[in-house]
Amino acid sequence: MNRLIKITIASLFLVANTAHAWIIIPTGAISDLITGAEGNNCVTNAAKVGDKMPFGNGKVGEIKSLSGTSTRCTNGSQPIRALIQPVDIPPVETTFIIQNPVDMQLSSLTDVNRFNNLVTQATKKEPDSGFQVISVKKHTVPDINEYAEKRRAGILLFVLDGKMSPITATKINQIPALQFEVSGAFKNGTDAKYFVTIMDGQEEVVQVIMWTRIDVYDIEKPEFLRTLGTSGGLIPAANTGIVIEGSIEDRTKKCAQMGLTVKTKKFNDCLSMLAK
């Protein structure tokens, strides 16, 4: 598996919109005529008509009907029989624009890519590098700081001996943003270092992922920064929720999330512990 595939898998994991697994089952035409059941897939109890899910061929399926628990669905976690049909996924709507990195070749997007909010993707072979833009609606990101933390943790899942930088706050052409780096190796002996920027717009949150081999990362990073400088089109969030990682605001929020009461000894001890 080459690194392009790996970063694609990683990005899809970070932004996947469905957790509904499905499997293919055989059908019985005669019994179906009697019961009215239809479909040759099995899905979870949480699945609903209208849910969309990726197929392995780059296509996306939509649940058209559910026929309840079926004896043909032998996997206990996917007991519901469903009719799933392929659907076309339109391009992601975004006002964000950015110049394609120098020497990178744009890749065509599949329905699965668009389903997972991928706006654009490009790669080059020498040095082995890649670039992706992902956009999600602002209302789907209740806390941009937690969103960045999950994105960083998500990339770490896909590398061996992963290393990550702190999440830092900045501005990209007046747009509030969070940035971090993650590096690591893959089982096939290759490695990569990712430079991720998450921009906080008024209507959308945009994630720009850039990566290359670890040994040439410092050489390529100035080009990554130049490319970010060409970005535009977003309206900055009027009241950004960005909090600098490690700041007193960040530590206060984390201690409160633990259920500790402000100004108590345990709360203050928590603040001190996180400050170390």
Confidence (pLDDT) at 33: 45
Confidence (pLDDT) at 18: 47
**30 has pLDDT over 80:** no
**Residue range 188-240, pLDDT digits in tens:** 889 999 999 999 999 999 999 999 999 999 999 999 999 999 999 999 998 88
**155 has pLDDT over 80:** yes
Domains for the chain: give ranges and CATH numbers: 3-13+91-229 (3.40.1000.10), 18-87 (no CATH), 246-276 (no CATH)
The torsion angle over the Cα atoms of residues 61, 62, 64 and 67, rounded to 10 degrees, is 70
- Cα–Cα dist 241/207, whole Å: 16
- Give me the sign of the Cα torsion angle 196, 172, 237, 165: positive
Mean pLDDT on 10-14: 49
**12 has pLDDT over 60:** no
- Cα–Cα dist 39/30, whole Å: 14
The torsion angle over the Cα atoms of residues 41, 42, 44 and 49, rounded to 10 degrees, is 40
- Cα–Cα dist 178/250, whole Å: 14
Bridge-partner residues for 124, per DSSP?
Answer: 129
Closest by CA position to 27, among listed 90, 84, 76, 77: 84
- Cα–Cα dist 57/181, whole Å: 31
- Cα–Cα dist 251/81, whole Å: 47
Confidence (pLDDT) at 9: 46
- pTM for the complete prediction? 0.76
**Residue range 101-145, pLDDT digits in tens:** 888 999 999 999 999 999 999 999 888 899 999 999 999 999 999
17 pLDDT tier (thresholds 50, 70, 90): very low
**Residue range 241-273, pLDDT digits in tens:** 887 777 787 888 889 989 999 889 989 999 888
Closest by CA position to 62, among listed 44, 80, 49, 75: 49
The pLDDT mean for the chain works out to: 85
Confidence (pLDDT) at 64: 92
